[in-house]
A = this chain, B = another copy of it.
Amino acid sequence: MTTAQRPTLEAVARRAGVSRATVSRVVNGSTTVAEPIRKAVRRAITELGYVPNLAARSLVTQRTDSVALVMPEAATRVFSDDQYFPGIIRGAAQELEEADKQLVLMLAGSPAGHERVERYTTSRHVDGVLFASLHGADPLPGRLARLGIPVVCSGRPLGGTLVPYVDVDHIGGVNRAVQHLIDSGRQRIATIAGPQDMVGGIERLTGYQAAMTPAGLPEWVAYGDFTRESGVAATRRLLAEHPDLDAIFAASDLMAHAALRTLRATGRRVPDDVAVIGFDDIESAAYTDPPLSTVRQPIQEIGRRMTRQLLRLAAGEPIEPAVVLPTELILRDSG
C-alpha cells in the first residue's frame, strides 16, 4: 500500500553519473548536451520512471503550465443541450494538448464561486484565463488583464472592457438569415431575441434589425433566454400580438425548436404558413420536424482560437485584439 518514493532529478543524476543540471538540460531539451551523455540520462530516466515534479518546477519558473477556463455555471444555455459548453471545452482541450498544458475548469455560478474564481485566477496559479459566455459587464476579465494576466474572452466583453476576444459574426449571419426570409417573400418577420446582457443576444437582435429596417418591414421582438421554455413563451406572445406573422428568426436553436412546436400546436404549418430560422446549428437541429434552418457558428473553433490567442499572449507575443469567425446560413426545411 505504501507508495514508492518517486525518483527525483537527483536520483536520475546519480544513476547516470552526471549532475542534476545536466539531467535538467536533457529533460528540457537543451542542445548543449553531448549525445552519449544524453543517451545515458534518457536511459536512467526510463529505468527509474522519472517524471518531473511540476510543483517544484513551477516554483522556480513562475509558470504553471495550466490555464483556467471560466464558465458561468448559472448560464442556462451552458447546461442545456446546446453544445456550446462542450464545444468550447473540446476546442480548448485540443489546443492545450498540443502545447502540453493543463485545463483547469472553473464554474463561476454562485457569488461565492465567482469570488473563488477571482481569488484563484488573480493569484497567478494559472498562466492565463479563458472566459466563456460572459453575462453582463463582468469586471473580472478587465481586472485580470490590468494585473498583466493573459485573458481571452469568448464574445466581445460588454462594458467597454478592453480585453482580447474571439467571437463569431453574429450580425452578419443573422442579417443573411433574415434577408433570406425577406427574399423568399416573407413580410411579417418576428424575432425571438436572446438575453440582452450577453453580446450574442444583443448582436443577433441587431442583425435582425439591420435586415428589417432597410426593407421597411415592421420589427416584432419578443425576448427569451436561449432556452426552450423561454422560446415557447416568446412564441406565444408573438402569436398573440401578431397572429398573422409569416416568419420567425430565433436567436438560438433551442428557442427555434420551441417555436416550431408552438406554431404547430396552434395549427400553423412550417414552413408553409410560417418560416423559422434558428441560430447555433446544434446537433438536433437536423432532427427537428421539419429540420431546422439555422445560422451555424463554429463553436469548437472558437475554443481553439481563444486558446491559441491566450498561449500567444502568455508567450509574450503580440495578438490581434479581436478575432471574428464567420457564420454560415444552413438551409434545411423550416425556412
Contact = CB atoms under 8 A, between A and B. Distances in A.
Interface stretch (A28-36, A49-57, A134-142, A151-159): A49-57
A103 B105 contact: yes
A196 interface: no
Given A80-B283, A103-B104, A103-B105, A119 B86 contact: no
Contacts of A102: 104, 106, 120
Interface in A35-93: 51-56, 58-59, 64, 66, 73, 78-83, 85-87, 89-90, 93
A169 B256 CA distance: 35
A147 interface: yes
Interface of A: 1-3, 6, 51-56, 58-59, 64, 66, 73, 78-83, 85-87, 89-90, 93-94, 97, 100, 102-107, 112-113, 116, 119-120, 122-125, 147-148, 228, 257-258, 261, 282-284, 287, 289
17 contacts: A51-B122, A51-B123, A54-B55, A66-B104, A79-B86, A80-B283, A81-B83, A85-B86, A90-B107, A93-B105, A93-B107, A97-B107, A97-B112, A97-B116, A103-B106, A105-B105, A257-B287
Contact of A81 (B52, B90, B282): B282
